[in-house]
Amino acid sequence: MTDEPLLKVENLQTQFFTEEGTVRAVDGISFEVNEGEIVGLVGESGAGKSVATSSIMRLVETPGQIVGGTVTYKGTKIVDIEEGPDGQPRPSEEMLTDEEMREQIRGNEIAIIFQDPMEALNPVFKVGAQLREFIELNRDVGSAEAREIAVDMLREVGIPEPVKRYDSYPHQFSGGMRQRVLIAMALACEPSLIIADEPTTALDVTVEGQIIDLVHDLEAKYDTSFVWVTHDLGVVAEICDRVNVMYLGEIIESADVDDLFHDTKHPYTEALLQSIPRPDQTVEELEPIVGVMPEAINPPSGCRFHTRCPDARTVCREFHPTEQDVSEAVTATHRVACVKYESIGYEDARPLETEATDDFGSGLIDASGEDA
């Protein structure tokens, strides 16, 4: 086995060209997934998590377009955008064609589990037939064998009476059952990587727990790698090996799961952690992150989080931090994109009046000039 990671995303950029302007939904993210690893992609709604995953699958729909970066999967460039002679981004010669992408990658190498199991199955076809179709398409098996695999897989993901349920329609399944079917679908195609796009968000907590346990067992059994997209740090703590935290189209911190929780570096990650209850810490009150995420169409200057960051200083407004490896250990990496860890004078800068520290009164005093 080589040291080459299974999936390597480098400087991936996806933009949406709308009438209001260009939305930089994914703005230069880089991360890696090693074999047998579960990598989390965490962030609030609108951080660009789902766009990132559909970019990896090359399923971005117009007006969206991948405008830069490289995604290497098992040495193959599934995304490789270079600048053309006219200055416009164009696919490089090494990048797989749409046809190759469809036939070689989607389903049989990288499978996906969607967020909403209620909508992801086709209501007019039987569940088994849908499974069988994808198995036939992505594995070199005939119809009868595909049917057997489908039934086995339904049993594997904990569907009772799989032979009978094979002939049921999606509306005869509950949400949790449908998500099990979708997991069965992904695993049955025997991909090396499964992208799970908020697979438990639409489910209630007990079902979520069951699904996570199921994925844990199956991951160990099939040795499949996962990219697990979620906004729930609790889920991340439970299943991920490494975590990438996204904010407004960028990855601002990435670390092993233990480091992320116990040696948090980025103020945003810190804020996220403080906004959820933790079994290892007792707090009087949870602290939500102040304000809402700005729109990606017009991101703040400098560090994109400075408008909500409790630690923000003047320099954060001007300087856009890049990811630095701040890990003390040699084996692990802990990268963080924060001005604090760049040597450009954070220590000397004046604290910034952010939404986080600002209150209504101080604005009024400023306006009347009484503080001068």
Partner 1 sequence: MGRLRYTTVRLLQAIPVLLGVVTITFFLTDAIPGDPVQIMLGPSPSAQQADAIRAKFGLDQPLYVRYVNYLADVVRLDLGESIYYGVPVTQKIMERLPVTLFLLLSSFTFALCTAVPLGILSAKRRNEPTDHVSRIVALFGVSTPSFWIGLMLIIVFSFKLGWLPATNIVLPWADPASLDAVDPDASWLVARWQVVATSAKHLVLPMITLGTLQMAAFTRIERSSMLEVLGEEYVKLARAYGVSEFTIVRKHAFRNAQLPLLTLVGLQLTSALGGAVLTETVFSINGMGRLIITAINNQDFPLVMGTTLVFGLVFVIGVIITDLSYALVDPRVSFEGSE
The residue ranges that bind partner 1 (CB under 8 A) are: 57, 59, 102-103, 105-108, 111-112, 114, 116, 119-124, 133-134, 137-138, 169, 171-172, 182, 185, 189
CB of 122 or CB of 362, closer to partner 1? 122
Residue with tokens 């480098």: 10
CB of 105 or CB of 211, closer to partner 1? 105
Determine contact, residues 353/362, Cβ cutoff 8 Å: yes
Helix/strand/coil for 23: strand
CB of 30: closest distance to partner 1 in angstroms? Answer: 23
Token digits of residue 262? 């116990």
Determine contact, residues 11/24, Cβ cutoff 8 Å: no
CB of 113 or CB of 233, closer to partner 1? 113
CB of 46 or CB of 191, closer to partner 1? 191
Tell me the residue ranges of DSSP E strands in the chain: 7-18, 21-33, 38-42, 64-73, 76-83, 89-91, 110-113, 193-197, 225-230, 242-247, 250-256, 324-325, 335-336
The residues that bridge with 14 in the sheet, in sequence order, are 26, 66
Determine contact, residues 272/234, Cβ cutoff 8 Å: no
CB of 175 or CB of 234, closer to partner 1? 175
CB of 172: closest distance to partner 1 in angstroms? Answer: 6
The residues that bridge with 68 in the sheet, in sequence order, are 13
CB of 195: closest distance to partner 1 in angstroms? Answer: 9
Cα gap 234→180, rounded to integer Å:
20
* C-alpha to C-alpha distances, 71 to 10, 68, 89, 154, 257, nearest whole angstrom: 6, 10, 15, 32, 23
Q: What is the largest CA-CA distance in the chain?
A: 82
CB of 105 or CB of 326, closer to partner 1? 105
Q: Work out the burial of residue 53: count CB atoms within 10 Å of its CB; fewer than 13 is exposed, 13-18 middle, 19 or more buried.
A: buried
Cα gap 108→118, rounded to integer Å:
23
CB of 259: closest distance to partner 1 in angstroms? Answer: 32
CB of 169: closest distance to partner 1 in angstroms? Answer: 5
Question: Which run of H or E residues covers position 153?
Answer: helix 143-156
CB of 125: closest distance to partner 1 in angstroms? Answer: 8
CB of 181 or CB of 326, closer to partner 1? 181
CB of 65 or CB of 333, closer to partner 1? 65
CB of 54: closest distance to partner 1 in angstroms? Answer: 8
Residue with tokens 């439970």: 238
CB of 164 or CB of 171, closer to partner 1? 171
Q: What is the dihedral of CA 138, 140, 143, 146, to 10 degrees?
A: -70
What is the length of the chain? 372
Determine contact, residues 163/156, Cβ cutoff 8 Å: no
CB of 100 or CB of 213, closer to partner 1? 100
Number of helical H runs and strand E runs in the chain: 13, 13
CB of 203: closest distance to partner 1 in angstroms? Answer: 15
Helix/strand/coil for 71: strand
CB of 170: closest distance to partner 1 in angstroms? Answer: 9
CB of 184: closest distance to partner 1 in angstroms? Answer: 13
